[in-house]
Amino acid sequence: MCGILAIHGLDNPASQRAHAIAMSKRLRHRGPDWSGCFVGKDSILVHERLAIVGVDTGAQPLTNKSGDLALCVNGEIYNHVALRKGLKMPHKFKTHSDCEVLLYLYTEHDTGLCNMLDGMFSFALIDNSRTPSRIVAARDPIGITTLYQGWSSSQPGVVFFASELKALADDCDKIISFPPGHVYDSATGKTERYFNPTWWDTDSTKPVPTTKVDLKLLRETLEAAVRKRLMSEVPYGVLLSGGLDSSLIASIAARETDKVAQELMQRRQRHLLVNGSSTPTHGPEEYPIASWPQLHSFSVGLPNSPDLLAARKAAAFLGTIHHEYTFTVQEGLDALEDVIYHLETYDVTTCRASTPMYLLSRKIKAMGVKMVLSGEGSDEIFAGYLYFHAAPTPDDLHVECVKRVKNLHTSDCLRANKSTMAWGLEARVPFLDKAFLEVAMNIDPVEKTFGKKEYDEDGRPKMEKYILRKAFDCAPDGKAYLPDSILWRQKEQFSDGVGYSWIDGMKEHAEGLVSDEAFAKAEQRWPVDTPDTKEAYMIREMFERLFPTEAAASTAVRWIPRKDWGCATDPSGRSVTIHKAAYDAPEDA
């Protein structure tokens, strides 16, 4: 991940260079390793770099040999080696960066390059060979990376792009969160969808999937998604909450890291025999996966919280070097305004869950780790949130799953990206791999339904995310992926799992902070997205202090559970009636 800023349509860009750099400085937490600036004939690109691949040569903005093209990218392109090999014309690469290939894909495929990319990315590309110059900007299919677009009424014809809202808030009076899976082209002035997977539409013309689950395909596609995300030249780790999703990712990563360690050892031994040196070099198309001798895992919670206890058990089973951090409710409350500054949203669920993740990320970065794998996306794909049990029909469940995946960029992806990048730590999310989504989102939703009293032929509870659990219940090599107590652990939403006292503490703090009189006037103060609790009021007030403009507030999205399914307005998993410690409760329970 990095921070990018692009301004296009300027009359005198050279005179705006210093101001553009000042705007970009607000993104420097995203890329503390280097800063770069490109000034074109009517455009400026600024880049704040977090070096993970092509560490020694990949500084941006990247340019082609003639200097006509300039590029800033935030993210990782996992299939960059294959893309290089597939180029039609010979091109002289300047760096080992996974992003440079975008320059030459553009020359050969124009905006069609977006559908060729496998990764998480936001980019801005300036084509100075045209008059006026052309800017092309795009965001990855699901919105794992963040990107905002803005306009200023005082500078008609100028368009702004930035990785975070804060870089644009003082200069733009209209700002949008750039839509995932879309590409903007200044030559046409249009923003168009390029990502159109088979599962995307849920209208009457598109039937609900009827494909029965293939457990082997599900398992192998997720394993491949994890494997490609281990592309790194710096130390990495895994976020481990002890829940199903993060534990599965950690399990697969541990297996893959062991394989890589063995491969690197064999490579060094061969190199030593041939060259008398134990340190083989690598060329631009061979990137060794950098890892510590063993995989490191990281968890956070209040003392003795459900997640800490489960993560400890999972880590012991997987053999990771485990790091456990605790925080107090007061420490969380002290960090809350800083969290909202980095999140740039007033959504209650996101703020609750992001605070412990923000605190943990600071600890991880202090250890020298720059990249972690995380488990976001699984609950949306597999109907894992407990409220899904209230879906009236399997068809309704499928429509809700698609809706939740489409909106991940407003919630869990935003949290994972901004909570970690506040400290220059990159989070990668294998569950949102394009190939894995194509498999998982096309499964018959009947296979994703669950209830409290249903069991399979092996006596396993048909609980939430049953098919994902079942896919990893037995490994081909006979070695279990996870202990049963983790593989079949019930869903805990992250803000619950770190310790129920955290949410209760936020509510209590808000009760003392927001008066009854002020809360009674909430609708007058905020007629749009009116806070319905004092906790929501407190968070909205903090957001407004940090981002006082209507343009900034318009980019935030608040999530509310499905009232039409009979769900409580509080997004905590504890508010769902199916939340029980065991599925084998007596019939009269």
Tens-digit pLDDT profile for residues 25-76: 999 999 999 999 999 999 999 999 998 887 888 789 999 999 999 999 999 9
Give the lowest-confidence range in 223-232, 542-551, 554-563.
554-563
The domains located in the chain, with CATH, are: 3-193 (3.60.20.10), 215-265+287-502 (3.40.50.620)
Q: Per the annotation, does 117 bind a ligand?
A: no
Predicted local distance difference test score (pLDDT) of residue 276: 67
Q: Closest Cα partner for 70 from 140, 18, 26, 6?
A: 6
Give the lowest-confidence range in 113-127, 281-295, 463-477.
281-295
Amino acid (1-letter code) at residue 305: S
Q: For 172-183, what is the mean pLDDT?
A: 98
Calpha distance 241→105 (Å, rounded)? 39
What residues contact residue 291 under an 8 Å CB cut-off, 6+ apart? Answer: 230, 232, 235, 236, 257, 260, 261
Give the lowest-confidence range in 395-399, 562-566, 582-586.
582-586
262 confidence band (pLDDT: 50, 70, 90): confident
Is 2 catalytic? The answer is yes
Q: For 372-400, what is the mean pLDDT?
A: 94
pLDDT at 478 exceeding the cut of 70 = yes
496 confidence band (pLDDT: 50, 70, 90): low
pLDDT at 581 exceeding the cut of 50 = no
Share of the chain above pLDDT 90, in %: 76
Q: Closest Cα partner for 510 from 380, 348, 393, 355?
A: 348
Joined together, the tokens standing for residue 430 give 């294998």
Q: Per the annotation, does 425 bind a ligand?
A: no
Q: Per the annotation, does 333 bind a ligand?
A: no
Q: For 96-106, what is the mean pLDDT?
A: 96
The CA-based dihedral angle spanning residues 185, 189, 38, 129, taken in that order and rounded to the nearest 10 degrees = 70
Predicted local distance difference test score (pLDDT) of residue 259: 82
| From 2, 114, 172, 413, the catalytic residue | 2
287 or 479, which is more confident: 479
277 confidence band (pLDDT: 50, 70, 90): low
Predicted local distance difference test score (pLDDT) of residue 583: 37
Exposed, middle or buried by CB within 10 Å (0-12, 13-18, 19+), for 160? buried
Cβ pair 328, 302 in contact under 8 A: yes
Supply the mean pLDDT for the chain.
90
Q: Kindly give the interhelix angle for 500-513 and 329-343, rounded to the nearest 10 degrees.
A: 80
583 or 560, which is more confident: 560
Cβ pair 497, 241 in contact under 8 A: yes
Predicted local distance difference test score (pLDDT) of residue 234: 82
569 confidence band (pLDDT: 50, 70, 90): low
pLDDT at 582 exceeding the cut of 50 = no
What residues contact residue 376 under an 8 Å CB cut-off, 6+ apart? Answer: 245, 408, 412, 413, 415, 416, 427, 429, 431, 432
pLDDT at 578 exceeding the cut of 60 = no
Predicted local distance difference test score (pLDDT) of residue 207: 85
Q: For 113-132, what is the mean pLDDT?
A: 97
Q: Per the annotation, does 375 bind a ligand?
A: yes
Q: Which of 258-262, 384-388, 537-541, 576-580 has the highest mean pLDDT?
A: 537-541
466 or 584, which is more confident: 466
565 confidence band (pLDDT: 50, 70, 90): confident
Q: How many helices (H) and strands (E) does the chain have?
A: 20, 17
Q: For 554-566, what is the mean pLDDT?
A: 85
Q: For 71-91, what is the mean pLDDT?
A: 96
User: Coil, strand or helix: which one is 69?
Assistant: strand
The secondary structure of 482-541 as a DSSP string is S-HHHHTPPP--HHHHT-HHHHHHHHHHHHHHS-HHHHHTHHHH-SSS---SHHHHHHHH
Q: Per the annotation, does 368 bind a ligand?
A: no
pLDDT at 286 exceeding the cut of 50 = no
Share of the chain above pLDDT 70, in %: 90
Helix (H) or strand (E) holding 429: none
Calpha distance 546→557 (Å, rounded)? 16
Predicted local distance difference test score (pLDDT) of residue 285: 39
Alpha helices in 190-290 (DSSP H): 215-228, 244-275
